[in-house]
Amino acid sequence: MTIHAAVAYIIYIWNAKGRHKLHSPFVYNFTEQVLNNKMVQTGSSAFEKDQHWLGHRYQKLLIRIIRYFDFHSILIAPPGSEDEAGKIDMLILKEDVCRQWVSLFNKHLHLTCPGSVVMVRGIHKSIQHTKKWNRLVNHPRVKMSIDLYGVGLLFFNEEFKEKQSFVLRF
């Protein structure tokens, strides 16, 4: 763990909110049904088994997100991402391609829809990772961001009238 990651973790712990301090019904439900729902079992599909690079905890989270939103089209960037076509429910940006996060995000943005989610792994691994994460959060199409320390989530829902950012305990 780098010094930046350690300091970022302390800041995360200080700022992270639990479900009782949330005023957004969407985020409260997400916290209850996804983050705090440990009852959802991991599946047996090839996709669910092949996400070991996420780590066990975040792999389970990914599966709960996919099931909660009933996602069917998921794109992991960059491998093979050049050939993908059609709308996607979820875009996943791996931490090892941090230098490409913004360009990959912009490249695949036209494939997203208002209900799409972008998951970004390793958002506080280094100063560079955090800077790139902040650039993604500040993108005009992003309506909501959720920082879970090891993973960041970006939402495009037009129902969100103003841009919101949350740091949630996970």
Q: Taking the chain (170 residues) in consecutive chunks of 10 residues, what is each chunk's mean pLDDT?
A: 89 83 85 83 57 76 92 81 72 86 91 92 93 95 94 90 90
Spatial distance between the Cα atoms of 6 and 2, rounded to a whole number of angstroms:
6
Q: State whether residue 70 is helix, strand or coil.
A: coil
Q: Which CA distances in Å does 48 have to 8, 26, 67?
A: 29, 25, 11
| pLDDT at residue 38, rounded to an integer | 75
- Report pLDDT for 152: 96
In the sheet that holds 151-155, the strands lie side by side as 74-77, 90-93, 117-121, 151-155, 144-147, 164-167
End-to-end CA distance of the chain: 19
Q: Report the alpha-carbon distance of residue 95 to residue 132 in Å, rounded.
A: 11
Contact in structure between 107 and 84 (CB atoms under 8 Å): no
Question: How far apart are alpha carbons 112 and 105 in whole angstroms?
Answer: 10
Count Cα atoms within 13 angstroms, Cβ side, for 84. 22
